[in-house]
Structures are given as structure tokens and as C-alpha cells.
Amino acid sequence: MPRKRKASRRSRGTVGQVGLGIMGGAFARHLLAAGYNVVGYDVAPAAIRALTRAGGHAARSCADVAARTRIIITSLPSPAAMEEAYFGKQGIPDGARPGTIVIEASTMTLELKESLRRRLARKRVILLDCPISGTGAQAAAKDIAVYASGERRAFDRCRRVFDGFARSTYYCGEFGIGSKLKFVANLLVTIHNLSTAEAMVVGEKAGVDLGLLYRVISDGAGASRMFQVRGPMMVRGRYTPAHMKSKIYQKDIDIIRAFVRRLKCPTPLFDGSVPYYTAALRQSFAMEDTAAIHSVLRKRAGLRGSIPGRITRKGR
């Protein structure tokens, strides 16, 4: 006798996803696991295939995504990609109905996001500014925070959606505050990533096993989230798979630099960090994780060859 199929869990609704890369693909998988139908589009066919294998539904265009849902998440890598997704041929407004909410989760300039908000408002589409704090690996583990800003009623309508793909969500106030907080967070990430690399190189020069250094420092006052996230890559001396590709992160560095210059605010630690990221790009680490600044420091310290250490369980 054939087994009876279990009754499928009732859907919590449909969410659109435009951009199915490292971050957007992770959002989609978590929303599917939380019981949502996900309709997605990406310019990369492989990303769309990954969505359908996970149980999502492929859309033909950004407009098709908008026509099939009232809440859309966008996670896109560049201003050009955003312009195409929103206002290119078959862009989001071409399919969106009045009252549709777009959760914009990318890290972009305030000027670009404000321009998108105004242009969408003419179509009676609501844009929320909701950048993400966390790496691609953290997104895959549902270990990210959302800094949401914009119309409060629209945010409240999306609250359960945020819970479906993020560890925590903060409503930060008027449109743009979320991005300002993200710029501050990324300023710290830029500094802490370099401080982690610096600590690893100092330890190696001093003859300390880096696996031991990682375990001990992670449990003490000197730890940071970047030490915990990127320290293991530095211990191995391998910076793939990338949580954040160096080439893409350069865009974030440029955004922060322009932002603080407009504020006329001194940022000595951030300014001192930037040349190491530039050096990583020049040394062919563009497609590897930003942890590759560790290799830049090792080279400047005169270190060569394999790295002395591996991560083991506590106490071993």
C-alpha cells in the first residue's frame, strides 16, 4: 500500500525576491523554510535554477515578480543593477500595483535610494530602506540584522517577512536612517577586519600557533565579530568561498568615504585601513573574501609559506 503524503503546510503568503546572489539567495531559502512562497528573478540563470531547486518559483522579469506579490525584497550588487531592476525594461514598477512594498536591502548611497523612493512614489509603490548587517555566510545561517527605515505602517506589514530571513530587525525611523546606521556598521567592519589580520600577523611573527591564537583571543576581551567570522579564514590562509568579495566591498568603502567627507568628520582608523583593501585588489584578490588583507599584511611582514596553525576544538 502506498504511503499517504503528509499534508503540506499552509503558505504564509508570497514574497518576491529580485537578486538571488549570495545574500538574496539566502533570504529566499530562509523564507521558503519559514513557509512562504517565493517568486524570484535574477539576471543569472544559475541563480534562478538554485531558487527552483529549493522550492521557489522563477519569474520572467522584475515586472513579473511585482505582478505576483505585494511585498518584494531587492538585494543587488551595483547602482547599474538597481537602475535596471527598477526602471529598466520590465522593471519593478511595470508590474507593481498601488500599495506594493519594496524592501530595499542593498548597501547603496542615500542619494540613490532617495531617488528610487521618489520615483516609485509616483507609481504609489512604497520603498523601505533596509540594509543588512552581516556577511554572506551569516545570511546563510540566518544570523543577520536588518536596519529598517521608512514608512512605519509599511514596516509593520513586513514584520513577519523580516522574521523569516533575519535574526533581528530594528525599526530605525525615517527613510535613510537605516543606511546611515549601515555606513557606521561597515566603517567598523572595515577597521575590525584589518585589526584581525594585524593580530594574526603579529602572532605569527611571534611564533604563536594561529589556531591557538584564534581559540584564546575569541574567548577574551580582544575579540570582535569580525575576528570570529574572518579569523578562521586567516588561520587557514584561504579566503574562499568569499563571504564578501573584495571587489564588491570596494563599493561599500567608497560609499562610506563619501558619506564621512560630506559630514566633515575625522575617521583616522577607517582612513588608515583603506590602503590595505586597495592593495588586496591590486594583488589579484578581487574575487576573494576581504579577509585577503591578511595576505597583504603577511607579505609586508616578510612572512612566506604555509601558516603555522589550524583550528581545533576547545581544549585540544
Nearest to 76 by CA among 150, 124, 130: 130
3-state secondary structure of 276: helix
Please give the grid coordinates belonging to residue 306.
604555509
Residue of 6, 113, 142, 182 marked active site: 182
197 C-beta neighbours (distance < 10 Å), count: 27
Q: What angle do CA 44, 159, 61 make, to 5 degrees?
A: 25
Residue (of 61, 52, 57) closest to 87 by Cα position: 61
Instruction: Please indicate whether residue 182 is annotated as part of the active site.
Output: yes
* Planar angle of CA 128, 251, 102, nearest 5 degrees: 15
Nearest-10 Cα torsion for 26, 149, 78, 241? -30
What are the residues whose beta carbons fall under 8 Å from the beta carbon of 170, sequence distance 6 or more?
145, 146, 147, 148, 181
Q: How far apart are CA 88 and CA 255, in angstroms?
A: 24
Catalytic (active-site) positions: 182
